[in-house]
A and B are shown apart, each in its own frame.
Chain A
């Protein structure tokens, strides 16, 4: 095992050690120690990841590191092993880098919260799971990480478990994810049946031998898993509710890393997807519809975090769209830039919430620009990045996806993405205007306490904002940047062939994208800054549309009615069945056993004991008569001896001679 391998193993080992320390011994030491362990371990992982990344750039080849042989027997071999290739390197840097910044931020944000150590333990456990997810070299390790992040998501959404809504949101996230996981598991089984192995390298090497039907089946099952984890239609409903968790959790898990696991998984499995054009189309359409659908909901939401949550769903839709049209590199590129700017946005929103002592309703904000200038500047950078304003990171990655769709003649998808981009720009600037501009709508109590966040929170935000600004440059120029050549070994061989287009088309698409973003900005500016009364007017003019959007297309209500309530009814029926029939049987069996026991007790008492008593009493009687033999008188005994001797002698003589001694004597 060389230095490189140990570095790779250390990446998940550091957070794991912190989990064990904080989880088992956290109550023994102060919060100061606990949070240092937490972010320190992630920081060390980040350093290791950088080293691994540099090494991978230098050698330019993938490497597998086996931590230990886990399951082997027959034709099944599963190792706890890691695959370090350009894709996992990018994911490692995003996860550990953004994770590190968010851990630092959490120190300030969670200061004084109850369960401080518990929070960091969960966060570190999440880091471990996420690292396993992106580093694993086979489906089983991926699945462990997949379930691990799901668990941590559940634990952290339900962090304020004494709040009913948080507990319910956590359960919802867990259950909805379970649906996806079922599909994912079936996909893993199918892979094993077809390839007799679960190692990526071998599976992907033989992926081209799959029949189209089988490839489609596997790809669709994988898609179900990805849809659940990455909150795509129809399983996206858990993500907005997941905002019940603390804001750093929303930033880390429900924006930057975990929800992108589905995208990572599809890109990782693109060899299978390439064999299944139908599945690819499905992915693209799921992504495109989600991008548009979630963006429209985001237009009218009033909770700052929920707007960002729908924005996340929408952006994930873009990544799926990219995967579906074969632009895997663009998907990962957008995943990376999205991690930067969405983490920045969430954390800035957290800073706003922090400043307003927990207020999340943007209708009760406004005019915060001068009161919390740092937060305002950082949030604005995030907004510009996600809206796709040149030359921030979001511009490059989103434009690349749209351009790819356009160049490969997916005009409908392009149109959906473009409209989505317009809506994104609009709702993000709406959010910014309502939060930071205009006149204050805070109540006096909150307004008196508005304060800028401490350095420990602003510092990571500044770092993220720098990343959000420059994060797009590795992918410049589109389709030919450094990022693309780095990822090329992993994502090569996409279904869509190379299409050479003139620079003019690319510039035209960029221009259109910028125009769309500016248009969205302008509309938001008009509605929320120039004519503040215009937006409510618009809402009252189209009350049906407004209400539908406000209620998120009634999807939650529909799911409740169509799935949750029938299931509850079914549950009640089964409950009744359980109580009456099964419990009845159980009780009957119990009753039977009880009467049986009573019967056998009776038999024992009245038959067996009686028999024993008869024997005993018989013995007693016999003994009473026979003991008279023992009179204690010596001459009685002597007489008995004589009598016995007499009988014995006669018997012996009879036996020997056949005659009685009297006869002998008389003769």
Chain B
């Protein structure tokens, strides 16, 4: 018996919400970054599941793109963390407010 589509969607939703909560409540920048990766992967699960369900390769191709972008995003994010860490000796998100006005 094949796993139903709803199971994939539920797993994906759980993962996404996990990542989302991680992004919103964790203070450590690295964890925030990892949570973003989780959210991206939740999206990837959805893409692949729907690709299989709809018998279209487009979803899987988009998933590959997302993985590639996630890698780039991780690289940029880590670079930012290093720069901030050098300057402020902190990786806590709530201690940085450089982005305001």
Name A's B-contacting residues (CB within 8 A).
Answer: 627, 630-635, 637-639, 642
Contacts and interface: CB of A to CB of B under 8 A. Distances in A.
Contacts of A638: 23-24
A639 B24 CA distance: 6
B55 interface: no
Contacts of B29: 634
A631 B98 CA distance: 9
A335 B29 CA distance: 122
B89 interface: no
A638 B23 CA distance: 7
B11 to A, nearest CB: 15
A631 B23 CA distance: 16
B24 A631 contact: no
B71 interface: no
From A631, A634, A639, residue with most partner B Cβ within 10 Å: A634
Nearest to B13: A665
A633 B97 CA distance: 5
Contacts of A639: 24
B3 interface: no
B97 A632 contact: yes
B100 A642 contact: no
Interface in B2-29: 20, 23-25, 29
Nearest to A627: B101
Nearest to B36: A638
Given A627-B100, A634-B93, A638-B23, 12 more contacts: A630-B99, A630-B100, A631-B100, A632-B98, A632-B101, A634-B96, A635-B23, A635-B24, A635-B32, A635-B94, A638-B24, A639-B24
Contacts of B99: 630, 632-634, 637
Interface of B: 20, 23-25, 29, 32, 93-94, 96-101
Nearest to A628: B100
A408 B32 CA distance: 137
Nearest to B101: A630
A631 B97 contact: yes
Nearest to B99: A632
A630 B99 CA distance: 8
A635 B31 CA distance: 12
A623 to B, nearest CB: 9
B32 A634 contact: yes
A230 B23 CA distance: 115
B82 to A, nearest CB: 16
Contacts of B23: 635, 638
6 contacts: A627-B100, A631-B97, A632-B101, A634-B93, A635-B24, A635-B25
B32 A632 contact: no
Contacts of B101: 627, 630, 632
Contacts of A642: 20, 24
A346 B11 CA distance: 135
Contacts of A637: 99
5 pairs of A and B residues whose beta carbons are closest in the complex: A632-B97, A632-B100, A632-B99, A630-B100, A630-B101
A635 B20 CA distance: 10
Contacts of B20: 642
A627 B94 CA distance: 18
Contacts of B100: 627, 630-632
B24 A633 contact: no
B16 to A, nearest CB: 11
B73 to A, nearest CB: 14
Contacts of B24: 635, 638-639, 642
A296 to B, nearest CB: 108
A632 B94 contact: no
B32 to A, nearest CB: 7
Contacts of A633: 93-94, 96-97, 99
A633 B96 CA distance: 6
Contacts of A631: 97, 100
A632 B93 contact: no
Nearest to B94: A633
A458 B87 CA distance: 114
A638 B24 CA distance: 7
Contacts of B98: 632
A633 B20 CA distance: 16
Nearest to B98: A632
A116 to B, nearest CB: 85
From B25, B96, B97, residue with most partner A Cβ within 10 Å: B97
B33 to A, nearest CB: 10
A632 B98 CA distance: 6
Contacts of A630: 99-101
Nearest to B20: A642
From B24, B25, B29, residue with most partner A Cβ within 10 Å: B24
B54 to A, nearest CB: 19
Contacts of B97: 631-633
A184 B5 CA distance: 118
Nearest to B21: A642
A126 to B, nearest CB: 87
A637 B93 CA distance: 11
A77 B89 CA distance: 101
A302 to B, nearest CB: 104
